[in-house]
Amino acid sequence: MALCLMIVDDSASMRQMVSFTLKDAGYDVIAASNGKDALTKLDEKKVSMVITDLNMPEMDGIELIRQLRKLPGLKFTPIVMLTTESQDEKKIAGKRAGASGWIVKPFKPAQLVETVRRLIK
Amino acid sequence: MKHTFSQSTEDGLLALSGELLIENSSELKSALCEALASSPRLIVDLGKVTAADISSLQLLCSAHRSASLAGTSFRIDPTGEVIRSIAENAGYSCRTKGCRFAIGICLWDPEAQQARG
Amino acid sequence: MHRQAFREEAFELLTELENALLELEENPHDQDLLGRSFRAMHTIKGSGAMFGYTAIAEFTHDIETVFDQIRNGSTNINRELIDKTLRSCDLIRVMLDDETAVSESERSDLTDYFHKLNQNKAAKGVNTSISRPSPADQSTAETEKIYRISFKPAPDIFFSGIDPLGMLNELRLLGTCSIVAHLDRIPPLEDIQPDHCYTYWDVILTTTREEHAIRDVFIFIEDSCELKIECIVKMDSFADEQVEKRLGEILVERGELTEENIAGILKQKKRLGEMLVETGLTVPSKVAAALVEQQQVREVHQKRQTTEAASSLRVPSEKLDTLVNLVGELVTVQARLTQTAAVRNDPQLANIAEEVERLTAELRESTLTIRMMPIGTCFSKFRRLVRDLSAELGKEVEMITDGAETELDKTVIERLNDPLVHIIRNSLDHGIEPAEIRERIGKPRHGTIRISAKHSGDSVVLTIHDDGAGLDAAVLRTKAIDRKLIPANAELAESELFHLIFAAGFSTATKVTGISGRGVGMDVVKKAIDSLRGQIFITSKNGQGTTITIRLPLTLAIIESLLVKIQDSSFVMPLSVVEECVELNRSDSTRAAGRLLPIRGTLVPYVPLRERFGLSGSAPLTEQVVIANVEGKRIGFVVDQVIGQHQTVIKSLGTAYRNVAAVSGATILGDGSVAMILDIPKLMIAEENICISP
C-alpha cells in the first residue's frame, strides 16, 4: 500500500505540481488549500507526511504545524514547510512549531522527492 | 503494536508484535514496566515485530538496565529479523563488552544473540 | 501543464489583488486586505519561479517585500504605492502571456521604486537570506577522506517528526560507514521519557564527498543538535607513520580522555580498552567507537595500498615458491621429453620437444624474475644498524647506499642479511676510527660506509666499503703465524694475507668488544656466502679503508651445471666453478705420483670421486677429470663419464643430509632419476685437509 502524503498550499498550481510529482514518485497524495482545510481532511485519512506552504488564508502554515503536533496521530509525523529564500524567520518559527524540514521555492520536482524520501519513515 | 504477557512456572513472557514505533512508545514503556514488575525472570519475544525505531531500542535497553538494578533476569528471545537489523543499522549491536549499566552481556551483542540461537 | 495551471491561477490572483488594492484605498489598515494582497504577490512570486517565470518572480519580489512590511506596520500604504502596484499588475499580466514582451527598461521605474522602499527599511534587517551551496555537490576530488562525525540529537528530536535512523541511513549512502551508538545516557525504565532521544552516535565515514555533503544530511536539525564533523584522514595525506593511531591517541583526540588518564592506565599492562572501562574512565561504547575508527582507518589504508599496487600485485611468497617448484618440475619433464625425442629419432616429436624446450626456458626466465626483489629492502635495515652502532661506539658514521634497485632472488636477499650485518659491524668496530683520531690524521670527522650493488653478467656484485683504518698486512701476518694458520716462514702476497681474515678462528681486534670479535669471525660470513654459492673477496689499503666484495648468483633455484656419471650414479657440479675437463687413462703413470695431474705446466691435485664416495664397481679405462677452480685454487674430480651441460633445478635435501658436507642438494634428471649436487668448495676444503695432514 502506497504511503499517503498531504500537500497544503493556497496556490492551485503548486498543489497540482506537488501532487503530480509525488504521485509520480509512487505516493498517494491528498491536497488541501489552507490550514483549516488540511485539519478537516486529516480527520478522514491517516497521512505519513504533511507538506505545507506557510502563507495561506484562513490558517497559515505555522499555525497548522502547531495544531498538527497536538494531534496524537501526527505528533511524530514529518512535516515539511514550503518557504522562499526571503523567509528565514518564518523557517525558524516553523521549526519551533515542530516542522521537520523545509524546501525552498523555487525547487525542482527531484528536490521535492529527495526531501520527502529523506524525511519519510 | 500488540503485547501479551504470560507467566509460566518460572518465566514471564512478554510477546510484542506489530509496530514498535515512537507513536507507541508510551504503550511499550508501560508494557515493559508491568512485565518487569510481575516476573523475576523475563523473556521478551520480539519475533513478530514488523517495525521499530530508536525509541523502542532505547526502551528495551532501559528495561534491561532496570532489570539489572532489580536483580531480574531479562533477555530477548527471539530477537527477530526486524529488530536485529534495526539494532545493527542504529549502531546498537557493536558493543564489545556488556554496558556498565547492566549485568553481563549487552542485549545487542551479536555473538550473545547467536549463542542464544 | 503546470505552467498553464499557474497562468490561470495568476490571472485570478491578479484580479483579486486589484480588487484588494482598490479597497485598500478606502481602508488602508484592513489587515485582511493587506494579507490577501501580500499572499497574492507571494504566490505569484513563489509559483512563478517554480514554473519558470523568472522575470515575473524577480519583478514581484520587491513588491511582495513591501507588502510584507505594510502588513507588519513598518511601512505605510499610500496612493502612490497603490498606483504603482496596479501598474505592476498590468505588466505582470502581459508578462504572463510573454515574459519578453515587457523589456527591463519598461519595468525599471517600478522596480526602482519598490527597491528604494525596501532599501529604506533594509537597515532594519528585516530580511536576511542565507543561501547555502546546492546539495548536489560535484565531488571533483575523488580522493577518499575519513570523517569522524559525532551526532547528539536534541532530546525532543522525535517531536519534529525526524527519525535519527533516517540520517544514519543517509550517511551510509555517502560511503563506508561504521556507526556506534552510545547508550550511556539511557536511564532506567522508571525515569525514561519514552518519546525522548537519549541515544547519541559516533560515525566513522569513508567517502569521496566533501564535508558539506555530510552537513546536508543534518540540514534540518543542524541548529538543534550537537554535531561535530572532522576530517581525520585525507587519503592523499596518508603518510605511513600517521596511519595507525593507537586507541589511546584516538580517545584523547576525541576529547574523551586526557593523556594522563591513558598514561596511568598503560602502566598496568592490560588491554587499554578494558582497563579504561574497568576503572570507569569511559564507557564501552566510547572505546568501541575509537576501535571502529582505528579499524576503518586501517581498512582504508590497506585499500589504498591495494590501489597503489594495482599495477603490481601482492602475492604470498609461498605461492611463488610453489610456482618455482612447478617450473622446476616442468624443466625436468622437458629434459625427459627432449631425451626421449632424441632416443626415438622421431623428427615430429623432436620438433615438439624443441618448442617445449624454448617455452620452458622462457617460462623459467620470467618465473625467476618474479622472485626477484630489490636489494634495497635489506639496505634500509642497515641504516638503522649503522645509526645505533655508531652511537654505541661513539663514532660518527654515515651510510651511503648505491644500486638499491638491483634485484636478487628473494631467498638470496633473506640469507644475505646476517653476513652483511656482520661485515658492517666489523667495519664500524674495527675499521672506522673514532672522530678525534680521524680528525688528527686529516680525515673527515665522520666515517663513511658505502654499500653498493650492481649486476654483472649472471651475478650480482655487492661491495661494502669503509674509509676506515684498513688492514695492516704486517699485523695480519703476525697474527696468522701466532694462530698457526700459516707457517712462520710463509711468503704470502698482500691479498693472500687479507684473505686470511676469512679463516676460522681469526680475529683482528686486539680487544674483544660486544659488537664484533666475540668468537664469530669473518669465517662465518664466508661460510654463509659459500652456501649461497657466492664468492667473497677483500681488498684494503692501510689507513685508507677496506672493501669487501661479494659476488652472488642471481638465483638459487635453478643453476647451469655439468652432469657427470660414476657407475650408475649421477652427479651435477655447478658450471660456474668448472674450468675444463681432461681425460685420465688408467695407464697414466701420473697416477702413482701422488695424484697430481699436469695441466699446462702446473700440477693439479685430483680426487677420484668413486673412491671418495665409496661407490662399487671398477673405473673405466679412460676416466674424466673435471677441473674446478675455486678462488684461484684448482682441483680435479675424477668421474666415469661427463654427460654434458644441464639445467639443474635445485631441490633441498632433508635434514638427514644436512651434515653431509659433500652435497648441497639434489635434482631430478630427465629420466626421473635423482642426481646429487656436489658442493665443490666443501669437497675441496675436505681434500686439502687430507692432503696437508700427512
Helix (H, G, I), strand (E, B) or coil at C690: helix
The total number of structural domains in chain B stands at 1
Q: Evaluate whether A92 touches A121 at the Cβ level (below 8 Å).
A: no
Q: Evaluate whether C422 touches C384 at the Cβ level (below 8 Å).
A: no
What local confidence, expressed as pLDDT, does residue B109 receive? 65
CB contact under 8 A, B100 and C284: yes
The total number of structural domains in chain A stands at 1
What grid cell was written down for B60?
528495551
> What ipTM score was computed for the predicted complex, to two decimals?
0.91
Compare C487 and C505 and report the one with higher pLDDT: C487
Q: What are phi and psi of B72, to 5 degrees?
A: -90, 140
Give the rounded distance of the alpha carbon of C537 from its chain centre.
Answer: 36
pLDDT tier at C510, thresholds 50, 70, 90: very low
On the question of pLDDT at C176 being above 70, the answer is yes
List of chain A residues whose C-beta atoms are within 8 Å of the C-beta of residue C130: 88
Calpha distance B39→B34 (Å, rounded): 9
Q: How large a percentage of chain C has pLDDT more than 70? A: 85
What local confidence, expressed as pLDDT, does residue A28 receive? 93
List of chain B residues whose C-beta atoms are within 8 Å of the C-beta of residue A75: 23
Instruction: Name the minimum distance, in Å, from the CA of B73 to any CA of chain C.
Output: 15
Q: Evaluate whether C465 touches C494 at the Cβ level (below 8 Å).
A: no
pLDDT tier at B17, thresholds 50, 70, 90: very high
On the question of pLDDT at C143 being above 90, the answer is no
CB contact under 8 A, B97 and C284: yes
On the question of pLDDT at B32 being above 80, the answer is yes
Q: What is the pLDDT along chain A (121 residues), one digit of tens a residue?
A: 789 999 999 998 899 999 999 998 899 999 999 999 999 999 888 899 999 999 888 898 999 999 999 998 898 999 999 988 667 788 889 988 999 999 988 888 888 998 998 888 7
Helix (H, G, I), strand (E, B) or coil at C566: strand
DSSP labels for C350-382? HHHHHHHHHHHHHHHHHHHHHTEEETHHHHHHH
List of chain B residues whose C-beta atoms are within 8 Å of the C-beta of residue C187: 62, 65
Domain that holds residue B89: 2-116
On the question of pLDDT at C248 being above 70, the answer is yes
What local confidence, expressed as pLDDT, does residue C240 receive? 45
List of chain C residues whose C-beta atoms are within 8 Å of the C-beta of residue B53: 163, 165
Task: Give the nearest partner residue to B66 out of C165, C189, C194, using CB atoms.
Answer: C189
Calpha distance C676→C682 (Å, rounded): 14
Buried b (16+ CB within 10 A) or exposed e, A61-87: bbbbbbbbbeeeebbbbbbbbbbbbbb
What local confidence, expressed as pLDDT, does residue C210 receive? 86
B66-75, C150-159, C230-239: range with lowest mean pLDDT: C230-239
Domain that holds residue A93: 4-119
Strand partners, C233: C146
CB contact under 8 A, B59 and C183: no
CB contact under 8 A, C165 and B98: no
A26-57 per-position pLDDT tens digit? 999 999 999 999 999 998 888 999 999 998 88
List of chain A residues whose C-beta atoms are within 8 Å of the C-beta of residue B53: 121
Calpha distance C2→A14 (Å, rounded): 8
Instruction: Name the minimum distance, in Å, from the CA of A31 to any CA of chain C.
Output: 15
What local confidence, expressed as pLDDT, does residue C312 receive? 63
Average pLDDT over residues C420-436: 87
What local confidence, expressed as pLDDT, does residue C297 receive? 77
pLDDT tier at C139, thresholds 50, 70, 90: very low
What local confidence, expressed as pLDDT, does residue C125 receive? 37
What local confidence, expressed as pLDDT, does residue A79 receive? 95
pLDDT tier at C382, thresholds 50, 70, 90: confident
B41-57 per-position pLDDT tens digit? 999 999 999 999 999 99
Extract the runs of DSSP E, i.e. beta strands, from C59-186. Answer: 145-153, 176-182
What local confidence, expressed as pLDDT, does residue C477 receive? 84
CB contact under 8 A, A73 and B53: no
What CATH number corresponds to the domain at position B91? 3.30.750.24
What local confidence, expressed as pLDDT, does residue C458 receive? 66
A75-84, B58-67, C173-182, C550-559: range with lowest mean pLDDT: C550-559
CB contact under 8 A, B23 and A75: yes
What CATH number corresponds to the domain at position A79? 3.40.50.2300
On the question of pLDDT at C134 being above 70, the answer is no
Average pLDDT, chain C: 79
Sheet containing strand B12-20, edge to edge, reads B2-7, B12-20, B41-52, B73-76
Report how far apart, in Å, the C-alpha atoms of B2 and of each of B22, B31, B46 are: 14, 10, 11
CB contact under 8 A, B22 and A76: yes
C87-101, C490-504, C588-602, C633-647: range with lowest mean pLDDT: C588-602
**Given CA atoms C563, C564, C568, C569 in this order, what sign does their dihedral have?**
negative
Task: Give the nearest partner residue to C46 out of A84, A118, A119, using CB atoms.
Answer: A84
Q: How large a percentage of chain C has pLDDT more than 90? A: 7
Residue B61: is it exposed, middle or buried by C-beta count within 10 angstroms (0-12/13-18/19+)?
buried
